[in-house]
Structure 1
Amino acid sequence: MAHTREDPRSVPTELRPYLAELVRRTRAVCGPHLVSVLAVGSLALGDYRHGRSDIDVTVVVEPSLPGSAPHDLAGTLAHPRLPCPAAGLELVVYGADFVRRPSGAAGYLLDLNTGPLLPDRADFDAARSPAFWYVIDRSVAHQTGLTLFGRPAREVVAAPDRPDLLAAIRASVREHSDGEGHLADNRVLNGCRSVVFCRTGRWLAKRAAAREAALAEEEFRPLIEAAVRSFERPRSSALPLPAAEVRTFLARVRARVDQTARSAGT
């Protein structure tokens, strides 16, 4: 296996010791069955904000990984056993045989949420989870995943097929439209990312997507700019946004996604 790593300057200074230890512990648990450890989410898209963003990590392992290893990995990486310096760690483990092929399923071996601002969760049954989160994350990983250990993202993570990806984006927008458990600024900015992806086929960081969406959706520019200002604050001091305007904007996003799906014949 090739042991490659991206330029360490790609990783924010305050996260380097933590990610190095995360990789070390993952290697210790998975041994020769470990294929890759990839940074995804805001780290991969170049818009990590300390005190606001989560650390998103995708781990790829060989099918021969012992069945106890995902449980062991969840234990050794859980906060505060490994203190997370960010708002939280969202780590997903996939089998290499699953993730090398396009899929609209969740398909994980472990979904771990942990950290100072995240409710602890370690789930080992992918059938119980909505698939859309994982489909979108794998799309981001294939596009821009940052290699912390092992083989590069594009070699190990397949891009989802377009119909599956558009269905996942529609489900994501519905989830954010409901609003439960999501900050208002995050709902708006994820809507911006969805709109820009439908237009360009590329995932952008939230603030970059907001700039493009504000130009295309002029009537929502004040709302989008307010969401960006809120996003630039710590999570605990996010600004309130007008609930009716947020719902109206997300309804517009749903219409844009549906229009893209119709145009693609999905």
Structure 2
Amino acid sequence: MTRTLVDPQSVPAELRPYLQEVVHRTHAVCGSHLVSVIAVGSVALGDYRHGRSDTDVTVVVDAPLPGRALSDLAAALSHPVLPCPAAGLELVVYDKDFAARPSGEAGYLLDLNTGPLLPDRVSFDPTEPPAFWYVIDRSVAHQAGRVLYGSPARAVIAEPARADLLTALRASVREHSGGEGHLADNRILNGCRSVHFCRTGRWQAKRRAAQSIAASEERFRPLLTAALRSYEGPRAAVTALPTTDVQAFLAWVADRVDETAAADRAG
């Protein structure tokens, strides 16, 4: 099987050499245990913004990997050993048996965050962080993941149960309502994506989700327009948004998620 990108045109030109090297180094470490390398996040949803977006990658392996393979992989992909051209790399490794079944757990073997604008993180313990990030990312991978190497996303990553996804969305909204460590415009756009999922059952790029919510919710339109305008710029130039308005919007988002969960239970 080729160690180059399956379809180079499926990823932004700015990321192609980097993602090809990610695939090459991951294969070099994992060898025959490597099942798939899949682009998720903004790349999968067609809204990658160079200089603003992270690049999110899901790796599926046939475990157990030999020896220090996971540590070696983290070292091989860490910035600046492999310079990341995006704001950061968020890479998660799953065992194929775990990835193939619906789950509301984090369940990863390795969680690596690295890059010029991302705090470094290497974890081998899936009980450390909240699980919701991983549940949402696996759903995005199942629905829209772009295979960089190996088997297609739908063949190796199960769609989490809807109840688990709504629980994950509620936790995500709670996290963004706290605000710590999150840019204001991204908090708003993540909320829009959550509401869009509740309405449609499909994941949409943050900006397109925000445009959709702005069109239907006139009272939030000025805030969403300001968030979209801010999101067009680099992270260093993010616009301050009114705290009261942000909290009111996220409270509204939480209510929409809770209503959707209640309707599912009743129906």
TM range (shorter): over 0.9
Residue pairs, 1:49-60, within 5 angstroms? 49-60=49-60
2:236 maps to 1:236 = yes
Aligned partner of 1:101: which letter?
A: R
Aligned partner of 2:172: which letter?
A: S
- 1:233-254 deviation line (CA, Å, top 9, x unaligned): 0011111111110000000000
Q: TM-score, normalised by structure 2?
A: 0.97
Partner Cα separation in structure 2 for residue 249 and residue 143 of structure 1 = 27
- What's the counterpart of residue 250 of structure 2? 250
Q: TM-score, normalised by structure 1?
A: 0.97
- What's the counterpart of residue 33 of structure 1? 33
**More displaced 10-residue stretch of structure 1: 19-28 or 209-218:** 209-218
- What's the counterpart of residue 10 of structure 1? 10
Residue pairs, 1:47-86, within 5 angstroms? 47-86=47-86
Q: CA deviation at 1:3?
A: 7.7
Structure 2 gaps of 5+ residues are none
Partner Cα separation in structure 2 for residue 173 and residue 217 of structure 1 = 18
Contact 1:2 1:151 in 2 (8 A): no
Residue pairs, 1:163-178, within 5 angstroms? 163-178=163-178
- What's the counterpart of residue 218 of structure 1? 218
Alignment identity in percent?
Answer: 69
Partner Cα separation in structure 2 for residue 212 and residue 45 of structure 1 = 15
Q: CA deviation at 1:7?
A: 3.0
2:191 maps to 1:194 = no
- What's the counterpart of residue 93 of structure 1? 93
Return structure 1 stretches of 4+ with deviation > 2 angstroms. 1-7
Partner Cα separation in structure 2 for residue 63 and residue 165 of structure 1 = 26
Contact 1:136 1:165 in 2 (8 A): yes
The alignment's C-alpha RMSD in Å is: 1.3
Report the secondary structure of 1:265's partner residue: helix
Q: CA deviation at 1:64?
A: 3.0
- What's the counterpart of residue 260 of structure 1? 260
Partner Cα separation in structure 2 for residue 35 and residue 209 of structure 1 = 32
Q: CA deviation at 1:10?
A: 1.7
- Give the number of aligned pairs: 266
Contact 1:132 1:168 in 2 (8 A): yes
Partner Cα separation in structure 1 for residue 2 and residue 62 of structure 2 = 14
Q: CA deviation at 1:47?
A: 0.2
Report the secondary structure of 1:127's partner residue: coil
Aligned partner of 2:253: which letter?
A: V
Partner Cα separation in structure 1 for residue 86 and residue 31 of structure 2 = 26
Aligned partner of 2:117: which letter?
A: L
Partner Cα separation in structure 2 for residue 203 and residue 31 of structure 1 = 32
Contact 1:52 1:233 in 2 (8 A): yes
- What's the counterpart of residue 144 of structure 2? 144
- What's the counterpart of residue 107 of structure 1? 107
- 1:46-94 deviation line (CA, Å, top 9, x unaligned): 0000000001000000023224211110000000000000110000000
**More displaced 10-residue stretch of structure 1: 39-48 or 3-12:** 3-12
Distance 1:259-1:2 versus aligned 2 partners, 3 A rule: farther
- What's the counterpart of residue 125 of structure 1? 125
